[in-house]
Structures are given as C-alpha cells and as structure tokens.
Structure 1
C-alpha cells in the first residue's frame, strides 16, 4: 500500500448487561450503491458475527445522518473524517449547527476516489473536461463540491471550467453519466455504482492526479485531510494504468452518550472481523487494523469505549 505524504431512527436504551444479549444497534449510511452504504453493510455483518444485532439505516447523504448520530438518534454512522470534523465544529455546510457530541469509534481504510469517464472517450486528464458537461450541484451531498474543487485545482482548474449538470447526490451523478448527460462523474473506487456504470457504458477510465507537493497543497486548500493514494492497473474498475488518486480518511463514528461497552464491542468486531468485512465489501482488503484504526483525527475525539479497546490491543499511545 502506497500513500502520498441499517437501522433504527430512535434512540435505543441499553441495559447494564452490555451486549451479551445481542443488543440492537443502528448504523447510518448513505443510499444503496454508495461507498458508505457498502461500508455500513460490511460493518453491520461483522458486528452481527460478533454478537451485536446491527442493522443499517440508509439516508441520502452524511449531511442528514451525521447530526442524527450526534443527537443520539442512532448509535453509529459511517462517513469521512473531514465532514465529521466540520459537523463537530459547525463549519461549512453545518455552519451555525455545531455537533459537539460527535465521537470517533475508529478510522478504517481511506476513501480513494476519482472522476470517471468513458474508456472509449478521448478524455485522458481532468484538463480535457474543460467546456464539457460535468456533474455539479450536489444539493443533498454538499461534501462533494469541495472534493471536486480539490481535484480540479491540481490542474489549475475550477468547477466553472465545465458546464454544470446539477444533481443531488453521487448516485444521481453516476446515473446522469450513464444516461449520457455528463462527460464524467465522481465516485469512490470500489463502490457498487462504479461497477454498474462500468458495465453500462462498456468500460470506464479513472482520471489520475500528479502526486506533487504543490498539488497536495492546493488540494488541501479545499479538503484539509486530503492525501494521494496509489492504485495498480486493473485493481479496480476504471484503473487502466498505475496511478495516483485523491483520497482521505473514512471512519465509523458515534456520539458521546453511547454506552462504553457497546462502542467497545463495535470497535472490537471491526478489528477482529476483517474476513467478514472483506467478504462483504472487497475494498476492505486494504484495511489493516494495526495501521488504520488509530490516527490523527484533527479536532475530533475518540469515544472512551474505543480507547479501551485500543489500549487492550496495544494500538493506543497516550
């Protein structure tokens, strides 16, 4: 691995007996087809294997379910670190609505994403998208706009250089591409929707970035936790050659009032359930508990139940 640099919508009550009686827990995810729905499904399966009774609750985007988790309306969610940090402090699209009770359960493998185009097109770089119709808007998933800006900035571009095709979400953006309404779409590598698009149009090409210090600096002006991640040719749909892609940390998160025992058991299930995680969602093959679960989380805090597990597993250093 190379680096550059579902559920219940009401608060559940847990007894003092802990999780021994297969307590019900919810995991908030994005819509089916999205990377976070795939991740949430895998996490739920690993949790169920470990004795938790976990179900997923899909929503349009983390914009909606991050505050729900923060308020205790559901126990866990899967999202990206930058958006959880914004929600915690009430910044960007969460402006004026801070969620100080958000807590990190665990980091997982990074989210690696790309702008995908048709493999039979003559679009070889992001610069080739100038003047073409390109997905934009993302009214229900505002996290995507600064990510697009970050990717375009690596080639001295902005979203204004394309003709906007406004969509509410990444899934809708992929559908617009499949329908021929846009020249490309942004999505996470490994997501089910990418495989669907790949089959629908007869092959995809994922556009790479140049992993320079200058490009990383301009990307982080738009997405502060960004880094670049290397993928080998053929490792994912659309990866037609070895190359570098825009990436950032993903996590399973919870809220400050979630019972310590429940968070402990969830984190333990993820750490020890790698076979189930990978069988459910193959990109978990890149997940290494020793390497990924504990790391720099910026302004966020780990939940005490998670810290308890990390200490027991020798992953935590005060």
Structure 2
C-alpha cells in the first residue's frame, strides 16, 4: 500500500466541500486541515483544524488543493511550492499569464507537481470524442458551436465582494462558468489563430460581462463560435455542436445527444443524464466522480513522479484563449 498523501485544502467555499467528499472516495488521500481567512467555519469542514495561512499549518502535509478565488490561485500555489508541497489547483489556473507562468516556474524549481482540475476532459462521452478527433475518424471538422448559457441570480454575485470583478474573478462567465468548456474546446481543436468577440453586461450590476460571444478561426479552416452567459434564464445545458464532412454530432452536458456520422455508430455508453452536474443554474457540485479521477491521478503523479493528466502548461491554454476573447472585442 502506498503512503497516504495528506492534503491541506486552501479555501472553504462550496468547492472545498466537493473536494472533501471526493477525497473520501480517493485511494491514499486524506485531508488534514483547512486554510481559510473566513471567521465562520462551514459545517462540512468544522471537524478539521483551521489555519489562517499555509505557513501557519503545524501538521504534516504533502500537498494543497487550491479552492480560493481565481485571481488568488497563484498566491497559494507559489507559497506551497516554496515549502516543497505539491499543488492541485481549481480551474481556471489563474487570471493572468504572468501569474500562471510564476506558478509553473516555481513548481518546477521546487520539483513539485502542479495539476489543474479541468475534470470535464474525462466526463461521460468527452474522452470518446477526443479519441475520434485524434484518430481523424470524424472527417474534416469545419464548424463548431459551443454554448454555455447559464444563469446566476443577484444573490450569487452579492455573495462575496470579489464576484463579478476583473481583479479577482478575472472576468465574467467566459473565465468562470465557461472555463471548463473552453479548456475542452482547446483539448479538442487547439487554439484559434484569430478571433473576434462582443461582450456586454445586461442583467447584473457587475463590472464584468454577463453575456457575450466570440467567433474563432483556425488554421485548419474551421470556423467556431463560443457563447457564454450568466444572464440567460433559467440556465441551459452546455452544448457543443460539431459539424464535419461526414455529418454532425451534438454533446449536451458531456453526453452525445445527437449523432449522424457516416460509417460510425453512436459510441455513447451513457444511458441517463439525470445525475449529471449541469452548472446551468447553480455552482454547487454533488457528483464528485470526475473530481475523483483528477485526485486519483494527482496522488499517482506524486507517488510515481510522472506528469498529471492536466498540467499547468496545458491548463494555461484555456486562460490564454479567454484572455484573447476579452481583448479582441469590436
């Protein structure tokens, strides 16, 4: 039996509780403390020792799980890596390329693992589509439409002063709610060679966008659209439509719902989506299956000193695409 990896969870919001549940189903992993600046302890975490900062932790630990707001990820990652601790970071890895590169370089310098929780790469039918694309089974892909039309009410944005800000959130739905799917888009198709976007704030009193769209052009000739929103009531399943020389397919919440590809049977094995987390109207995650994949892989990476499934360098690409969307408005 391998040595259990002792984790400190940095942050005490909803996603921290998700990781706590996931670790219960992860081999060789244990939570030994929480780092949080909050004075009120969430009920799910109350039985663990609490510390104000990573440097104040007085129990043995091997790694941290960073669950702080987006723009603060690099702070905890750099501090933990400097102490020789491995780093698993919530998405997005951070909100600026400068901060991301500092995270990556500090982890390398201190010879610790850096992984990022873009777990939707391994959700439901997504890995099947990735293999079909890589094996060129779908034909020439010429059009992709990605739609992440969520809804968040005013209570969501009022729940913390950092929400809906550029400095800490990094932006609106593109970097927050759509980040998982923009990572998936990169994983499938790579980065666009050119894009143009239009963003707006329509139903919330926030400084960032709550709705927008981008047109992406690729060197292959593929033309794609990405729409992201927290203004579209009541919130809709994330959808990716892929059109090719052999037909088309549609993914909704990571499951193939429409399939007509010449010469290929629908490869889905998913019979029901009733327990699938959509994120359409709430950020709360109850199904931890995909987080468990990330955690088990991260523990294995620590034990074997091999790269985790999703490295800092790989996760950086999603933020780069999002930042390009923000700066390419017309």
TM-score bracket for this pair, using the shorter chain length: 0.3 to 0.5
Q: TM-score, normalised by structure 1?
A: 0.36
Q: TM-score, normalised by structure 2?
A: 0.35
Q: Higher helix proportion, which one?
A: 1
